[in-house]
């Protein structure tokens, strides 16, 4: 299989317009689209082909409320790290789409799966978490190609998340994902646009 310039340009456009979305409409997402997104996520690479990601689709109102409470507690603690104008700027940021996103996913990593037979992770066990991260990014691109927005909530206590969802001891919390129709599209990261942190190039070092 060889891709032409048009297809390559389409991929670049998807990458450029993939944003960490926090502003969602409440419209439901078609179940057929969600099925395709799950199938796309399954195409992600993984160490030893272990496919260690474990996904819980969170529909229960009590579970969603517990996640929001976890976020609010962690957000307050994070805000206390800043002072003066930066503290004001932090509190002005919208850092999660928990109240509106119609689809919410709790993503965990199975930290010692039988699948893969240990291949590739003996000296680098973090490759399992890296595999889950790549699966999340694959889902992100597929969602954007389906004209959906996605955001990852990182201001959470991982141990609390594992307790909230009562997962097995060998599942490690990796990410909480909000998914749905974005209120607007943007090719510039929200934190750049808000003046918190601009995009900066990362040059490839040559040695």
What is the model's pTM?
A: 0.94
How many degrees, rounded to 5, is the angle at CA 45 between CA 43 and CA 47?
Answer: 140
Question: Which two structure tokens, joined as six digits, stand for 194?
Answer: 């808000």
Quick check: 118 pLDDT over 90?
Answer: yes
Unique residue bearing structure tokens 């926090």: 22
> For 160-207, how does the pLDDT look when each residue is reduced to its tens digit (9 = 90+)?
999 999 999 999 999 999 999 999 998 888 888 888 999 888 999 999
What is the per-residue pLDDT for 99? Answer: 94
> For 85-112, how does the pLDDT look when each residue is reduced to its tens digit (9 = 90+)?
999 999 999 999 999 999 999 999 999 9
Sign of the CA dihedral with 65 first, then 172, 108, and 186 last: positive
């Amino acid at each position: 299989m060889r891709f032409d310039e048009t297809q390559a340009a389409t991929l670049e456009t998807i990458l450029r317009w993939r944003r960490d979305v926090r502003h969602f409409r409440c419209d439901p997402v078609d179940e057929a689209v969600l099925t395709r997104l799950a199938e796309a996520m399954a195409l992600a690479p993984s160490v030893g082909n272990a496919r260690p990601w474990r996904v819980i689709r969170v529909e229960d109102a009590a579970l969603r409320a517990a996640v929001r409470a976890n976020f609010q507690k962690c957000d307050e603690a994070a805000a206390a790290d800043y002072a003066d104008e930066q503290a004001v700027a932090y509190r002005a940021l919208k850092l999660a789409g928990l109240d509106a996103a119609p689809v919410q996913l709790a993503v965990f990593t199975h930290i010692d799966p039988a699948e893969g037979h240990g291949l590739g992770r003996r000296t680098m066990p973090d490759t399992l978490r890296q595999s889950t991260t790549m699966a999340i990014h694959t889902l992100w691109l597929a969602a954007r190609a389906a004209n959906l927005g996605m955001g990852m909530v990182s201001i959470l206590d991982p141990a609390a998340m594992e307790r909230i969802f009562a997962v097995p001891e060998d599942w490690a919390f990796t990410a909480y994902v909000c998914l749905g129709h974005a209120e607007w599209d943007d090719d510039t990261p929200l934190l750049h646009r808000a003046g918190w942190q601009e995009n900066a190039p990362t040059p490839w070092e040559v040695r």
